[in-house]
Structure 1
Amino acid sequence: MNITSNTASAALSAYTSSAEIKAAAEAKAQSANNSQATDKSKKEDALSLSKTAAAYSGSIASNAPFFPVRPGMNADALVLGVSQPDAVSSSKGKTFPEVATDARKRMDDKYAQMKTGDKPYSGSVEDRNALMGDLDRRSLNAVATNEGGQFSKDEQDAAKALMQQQARLASGYYSGPDEQKNNWKDPFANDPIGRAKAALNFLQKMTPEEKNTPQWLSQHMTLQNALDQYAKGSSSESADKKTGHFHNLAEILAGVETDGAASKNPQNEQIANAGNSMMDRIKALMPSPT
């Protein structure tokens, strides 16, 4: 009898069995770790989505009164665009031409919905908000710039006015129905620097197409430079005088009135003409460099 061979075989078998058991245990542990990591990731994603949803819900609730609509319709995307101009919904995953085509279809559907409802589209503020109520800012910009030549002058003007309204509200200036004005609280009433920072933050969150324009670059550079120069201070200017620059800057950033009250065709020529002169006035009010 070959005792040595039998002993070696038994030892090898025992080792193999032990190795298999160890490997199985390690695989089980790894699987458990992966499962825990996946669960953690899912929980974190869910928490993130929950926080985002809560933030969006809060923004919509607080600004909804300033975007009235006809009964049975909503303007959630317009309202959300005040605090979250970079929020994506209607334009998600689309090229800019596709965004325009989608916006055209959405608006045509709204026209049809109104026509089969109480009455056809009237051009009122309520109907304008309802017509474009589910367009995110990128979709609004496609309408405002007449991407693909698919939109009427009135539609372009309405989209421009809504985009301007979002920017005004975001920087603390009221823009909306007269009857809601008393319910508005300017968060930057005593904080002109905070207002300028809010305006800069809004600019930074604008859509890719908006950022790819000379106007956006000029506005962004001017605001950033003004804030940088204020932060550095100037030996030739007192703190009160420097703060005064920002009070003036804040007034200029208000732009023109675009609440569209009782107007079927918002006066967007004023908005377009105000752009260049506004930036010239801002530059003139900037603190002198040190």
Structure 2
Amino acid sequence: MFSAYLKYVGSSYHPPAETTKTSTPSTLDRRSRTTATQSTTTTDTDKKSFSQVAVDARKFLNAGYQKLGKVADAATTDQDWHGTIRIQNLDRRALYAIATNHGSLFSATEVKAAKSEVASIEARASKAANPRGTDAAAAAKAAITVLDGAGPEEKASLDWAQRRAAAQVQYQGLAKERHQGRAALSVETDNPVVNHFVKAWSELEKSKAYAQDPASARIEDTPSWSKGVSLWKSLQESQTKTLGRL
């Protein structure tokens, strides 16, 4: 029963589209990538402003292009990104700065590469947690760990809150199926926006149970989903006003 629900989790919620890599990874690329849940850099970005993180990321990419002997990101291949530029060495916060084109410092190609790398971090973590493909719950738990390791700017986004809620619901359902009679590991969060979205998935199941056409039920139509979006908007407005007074 729950397996069908999990398929719905994956099919009914569509976050902003992620772009794909610029080319197919080579064998060398695959070997050079780590299975860690979060990339690292030689500097500590936690204490920097997000604008400074973006500037440093811009410098990092420029240094990579210089090594390649190329102008900006013209015709950059996957081998270039991971073998020479080594975009995988950027931490999650720097990748998010590029992926969101913070400060309008990055090109469309760079944004695409950063989004792909962020997606790869989660994929590698899930694969490492479930190498044989026999423990989907472990893979889902690893995905949550990656999401929880995001920087404050990413965690403040609506997309992150919605994906974090979907990952939590997926893990709890998988763990319940795999370990019947045992409680799943705690993956709850004190993020109120995420909690609204988690509750929305339960409301969706109830609405499907009473609907004449269950397939027509949409999570976006649940009360808690609307509350989550409204709360997120109010938090964004509050933050904008606060920054405006500084």
- Percentage identity across paired residues of the two chains: 27
Residue 189 to residue 111, structure 1, CA distance change in 2 (3 Å): same
Aligned partner (choices 159, 162, 176) of residue 218 of structure 1: 162
1:196 paired with 2:140, answer: yes
**Separation in 2, partners of 1:190, 1:142:** 35
* CA deviation after TM superposition for structure 1 residue 85, in Å: 1.6
2:53 matched to which residue of 1?
A: 99
Q: Would the aligned equivalents of 1:229 and 1:287 in 2 still touch at CA under 8 Å?
A: no
CA 1:109/1:230 → structure 2, altered by over 3 Å: closer, same or farther? Answer: closer
AA in 1 matched with 2:119: Q
Give, in whole Å, the separation in 2 of the partners of 1:287 and 1:188: 31
Contact kept, 8 Å, 2:37 with 2:145, in 1: the verdict is no
CA gap 1:142/1:90 in 2 versus in 1, 3 angstroms: farther
Q: Report the counterpart of residue 78 of structure 2 in structure 1.
A: 125
TM-score (norm 2): 0.52
In the TM superposition, residue 223 of structure 1 has moved relative to its aligned partner by 2.5
Partner Cα separation in structure 2 for residue 215 and residue 104 of structure 1: 24
Q: How much has 1:158 moved relative to structure 2?
A: 0.9
Structure 2, gaps ≥5 residues long: 1-26, 181-196, 207-246
Kindly tell me the number of residue pairs found equivalent between the two proteins.
157
Is structure 2 residue 70 aligned with structure 1 residue 108? no
Which of 138, 149, 152 is equivalent to 2:104?
Answer: 149
Letter in structure 2 aligned against 1:98: Q
State the distance in 2 between where 1:201 and 1:170 align. 9
Which residue of 1 is the match for residue 89 of structure 2? 134
Rg bigger for which structure? 1
Question: Do the aligned partners of 1:99 and 1:139 also contact (CA within 8 Å) in 2?
Answer: yes
Q: CA deviation at 1:90?
A: 4.0
Answer yes or no: is the 8 Å Cα contact 1:104–1:150 preserved in 2.
yes
Aligned AA (1:107):
L
1:67 aligns with 2:56: no
TM-score by length of 1: 0.45
1:265: which partner in 2?
Answer: none
Equivalent position amino acid for 2:141 in 1:
K
User: 1:163 aligns to what SS in structure 2?
Assistant: helix
Secondary structure of the residue that 1:190 maps to in structure 2? coil
Q: Tell me, which stretches of 5 or more residues in structure 1 are unaligned? A: 1-64, 70-74, 174-184, 234-238, 243-278
8 Å CA contact 2:136–2:174 kept in 1: the answer is no
Deviation at 1:94, TM superposition (A): 1.6
1:90/1:136 contact within 8 Å kept: no
CA RMSD in angstroms, aligned pairs only? 3.8
